[in-house]
Structure 1
Amino acid sequence: MRLTVPTLLTLLRIVLIPVLVLVVYLPYKWTNFAAAAVFALASVTDWLDGWIARRFNQYSAFGAFLDPVADKLMVAVALLLIVQQHPTKWMALWAAVIVGREIAVSALREWMAELGQRAKVKVATIGKIKTIVQMVALVCLLYREPFANLPVFYIGEWLLAGAALLTLWSGFAYLYAAWPTLRAERASAE
């Protein structure tokens, strides 16, 4: 197994998960800033590993497997921490939508790959937009405090709601792209 720079960045993202959890539970006033910084760093490594892989042709099978796993783990843990700190029905709903879609789309991609149809459910532009909105929302929600008279947490709540709606939209887009294959499989089984 060859460890490329993008793969090392992905591994760093996984290592940052327990760091995020630890920082959130530290009994200091600055932990919200540190938690937001840790998550922001992880988000940047997500973008950077893809850019480096494309720019310098540093692809690896292990990296291709690990990258989406690291992304989903980091987002799920951040959502879990946020919902625990702010247990409202809306926060729980948005988190459930985001995590549920990630599980469903991952399963859909795996199944389509087994059929040799993985390209039909590749990452689309709407998925990339969703990721950006989601990452900014999570940084805001982890930071929590007003900044320069901006209600950061409130902005984060609205961005998370937007990310959840984009999550549904992109999930339906992937399902729509896979639908002909899903229907063909069902017809051949009957």
Structure 2
Amino acid sequence: MWTIPNIVTMFRVILIPVFVIVYFLDWEYAQYTGAFIFWLAAITDWFDGYLARKLQQSTPFGAFLDPVADKLIVGAALLMITHTYDSVYITIPAIVLMMREIYISALREWMGQNGLSDVVKVNFTGKAKTMAQMLALIGLLSGLEYFMGFRIYWVSLGYILLYFAAALSIWSMVTYTLAAWKHLKAAQ
């Protein structure tokens, strides 16, 4: 159970309360530091998967914990940006992203219980959604529009990527549903 990839995943879970607390500190650099901690967690998501494959240390516990850790930190970040921006333009795509995560998790669990997990395995659209979502959240969490006097449009890019991730979310939800549809229909 305590393989290197699983330890990295547990580190990501431990980062969640640290990320939330730091982000809401009454400190000039709190949002930047919170965004950095979120970035670090996003990198560990890639890193633990790489290590599991490279070291041949894939475990059932890791297969369970990795997506849970992802959903926990992304859920926290989505709640935090809806609080920070207090805007319907952030809240709607955040809700779409959360709905997709819950729906796909339930679909994957049901398919897995029926021995059909390969039907809804991660595809390119899901990976692209995750990448856009992570970059959007880093940009929006940081609140950074200027860096060393230069306009960098990080928040503006965050908005665009959040909507792009929401669109990919809907697309991937439809794709996974269509792939599973005949099995769902047969179960009735």
Please classify the TM superposition score into its range, dividing by the shorter chain length. Answer: over 0.9
**Is residue 118 of structure 1 aligned with residue 117 of structure 2?**
yes
Matches of 1:80 and 1:129, distance apart in 2: 21
Asked if the contact 2:78–2:137 (Cα under 8 Å) also holds between the matched residues in 1, the reply is: yes
Matches of 2:89 and 2:115, distance apart in 1: 38
Q: Structure 2: which 5+ runs fail to align?
A: none
**Is residue 161 of structure 1 aligned with residue 160 of structure 2?**
no
Matches of 1:130 and 1:71, distance apart in 2: 13
C-alpha distance after superposition, 1:102-156 (max 9, x if no partner): 0000000000011111110000011111111110000000111213311211110
User: 1:32 is matched by which residue type in structure 2?
Assistant: Q
Matches of 2:15 and 2:93, distance apart in 1: 23
What SS does the corresponding residue of 2:58 show, helix, strand or coil?
coil
Shift of 1:183: 1.4
**Is residue 139 of structure 1 aligned with residue 138 of structure 2?**
yes
Matches of 2:154 and 2:82, distance apart in 1: 16
**Is residue 185 of structure 1 aligned with residue 180 of structure 2?**
no
Show the 5 A alignment for 1:69-148. 69-146=68-145, 147=147, 148=150
Matches of 2:99 and 2:55, distance apart in 1: 34
What SS does the corresponding residue of 1:34 show, helix, strand or coil?
helix
Counterpart selection for 2:177 from 175, 178, 184: 175
Shift of 1:56: 1.4
Matches of 1:6 and 1:166, distance apart in 2: 28
Moved over 4 A (4+): none
Aligned residue-pair number: 185
User: 2:136 is matched by which residue type in structure 1?
Assistant: A
Per the alignment, residue 19 of structure 2 pairs with 20
Show the 5 A alignment for 1:47-86. 47-86=46-85
Asked if the contact 2:129–2:169 (Cα under 8 Å) also holds between the matched residues in 1, the reply is: yes
Shift of 1:90: 1.6
Matches of 2:153 and 2:59, distance apart in 1: 42
User: 2:57 is matched by which residue type in structure 1?
Assistant: Q
User: 1:184 is matched by which residue type in structure 2?
Assistant: A
Shift of 1:185: 1.2
Shift of 1:97: 0.4
**What CA RMSD, in Å, does the superposition of the two structures yield over aligned residues?**
0.8
Per the alignment, residue 7 of structure 1 pairs with 6
